[in-house]
Amino acid sequence: MSVEVLGTQFNVWQRAEKTKVVLSSGKIKLKLEEQQATLEMRPGELVEVSGVTDRVVRKRVNPQVHTAWREKQIVFDHTTLQEIAAVIEDRHPYKVVVADSALLGRQFTFRLVNNDLDLLLRTLEKSLDLKITKQAETITIREAAR
């Protein structure tokens, strides 16, 4: 994919499996080479392209959630536990294991300052009634015992 900048602020996030572009202000054109298509983005839009399937997803988002890293913050806005686990794995040297797949859809809203993983884990535990353990290179998340 290539991005044509037309006077704007945007964020590009790329990993082996997918690329995300979020537009904060202005306008950009995305040239999707595999699909031989061009998309013009408006502020508040996210376009995600899967490197595996070439699937394109376009949706409205809060751009601040995707650009908070500029202020050394992470913003979770009704973010699922599955997405939070992916963020933790992306930013920290841990593998996240969620013991019960039913927990993956739980949503969480929080602003994390300075990428403080321990604060995030403690807040997740209390807010979502979880038990989280950190051992070696693994973080395990399970339902708290009642």
Q: Report the topology of domain 2-61.
A: Jelly Rolls (2.60.120)
Q: What percentage of the chain reaches a pLDDT higher than 70?
A: 94
Range from 30-34, 50-54, 60-64, 138-142 that averages highest in pLDDT: 138-142
Q: Indicate where the chain has its CATH 2.60.120.1440 domain(s).
A: 2-61
For CATH 3.55.50.30, list the domain ranges present in the chain: 72-143
| Residue 105 pLDDT level (bands cut at 50, 70, 90) | very high
Q: How far apart are CA 30 and CA 56, in angstroms?
A: 11
pLDDT for res 81: 95
CA distance 118 to 130: 14
Average pLDDT over every residue of 94-108? 94
Pick 72-143's CATH classification: 3.10.300.10, 3.55.50.30, 3.40.50.620, 3.40.50.1970. 3.55.50.30
Confidence of residue 86 (pLDDT cuts 50, 70, 90): confident
Which pTM does this prediction carry? 0.71
